[in-house]
Amino acid sequence: MNINQLSKRLMCVASYIPSDSTFADIGSDHAYLPCYAVKNHLVKKAVAGEVVEGPFQAAKQQVEEAGLVDSIDVRKGNGLEVISKGEVDCITIAGMGGSLIASILENGKAKLEGVQRLVLQPNLNARGIRQWLIDHHWELIAEEIMEEDGKVYEVLVAEKGQPLKPYSDKLEQELLVGPFLMKEKNQAFYRKWKREAGQLEVVLKNLKKAENQAAAESKKQAVLSELNWMKEVLRDEKEDS
């Protein structure tokens, strides 16, 4: 990956950044995404935020080498503390766990005023993000799921709005697999949930072997209902997936 050629995952994130917006990429590492977005005239200005010294230096160097220091501000700091209220229209957070992404949003809530769009790419636990979005009145407006180098990635796009709009009465199941993704059910979707169901079967088997069955019971019930939701979405799996 470089600033001219992003990974499929980051290309997908880039495609949801509103044109001509100012955006902040939090956890930017090499600042590939801001460099790509500015170089390709998707946006005029960006902030690259990074909390760890090594990736922060890598981002600074990348921006300098690309000659983009006037358009991309590389800032060191934790989560949304690198931006001020009203400074950006869009925030991207990619390549981290869903719980970390949700905690960055939670801790930086005050900075979200004026932000019009969030583009979030969790490596796992997208459910935690969907729940956070609902709890904070963000409406999920699009979702993507794709496979790259054997890994399955999800991208969640949200704007301020009606948080429950994309969900039906199958809320718990849709929080897990994604309301839009559940309708589309592409190959990557089936692959992800087949894998996850397989892992849960192992967890369930181990729970059934636990010495203290009374203590394992509530965990077993939770795993069972999750497994049933997965099996339900996999039921109509196409032959070729």
Task: Please pick, from the candidates 44, 52, 109, 231, the single residue that binds ligand SAM as defined by CB under 6 A.
Answer: 52
Of the pair 90, 104, the CB lying nearest ligand SAM is at 104
Residues 26 and 95: beta-carbon distance below 8 Å: no
Of the pair 119, 230, the CB lying nearest ligand SAM is at 119
Taking CB under 6 A as the rule, does residue 97 contact ligand SAM?
A: no
Question: Which region among 90-98, 158-166, 176-184, 194-202 touches ligand SAM (by CB under 6 A)?
Answer: 90-98
Question: Which region among 21-29, 83-91, 175-183, 226-234 touches ligand SAM (by CB under 6 A)?
Answer: 21-29
Task: Please pick, from the candidates 39, 73, 75, 78, the single residue that binds ligand SAM as defined by CB under 6 A.
Answer: 78
Query: Where do runs of H (alpha helix) occur along the chain?
Result: 8-15, 32-39, 53-65, 98-107, 126-135, 171-177, 179-184, 187-209, 213-234
CA distance linking residue 129 with residue 194, whole number of Å: 21
Shortest Cβ 44–ligand SAM spacing (Å): 21
Task: Please pick, from the candidates 17, 26, 38, 43, the single residue that binds ligand SAM as defined by CB under 6 A.
Answer: 26
Of the pair 143, 226, the CB lying nearest ligand SAM is at 143
Find the distance separating the first CA and the last CA of the chain, reported in whole Å. Answer: 27
The structure tokens listed for 54 are: 């090594």
Query: Is residue 74 within a helix (H) or strand (E), and if so which, with residue range?
Result: strand 72-76
6 closest CA partner among 142, 153, 125: 153
CA distance linking residue 75 with residue 73, whole number of Å: 6
Return residues touching ligand SAM (CB under 6 A).
Answer: 10, 26-29, 49-52, 55, 78-79, 94-96, 100, 104
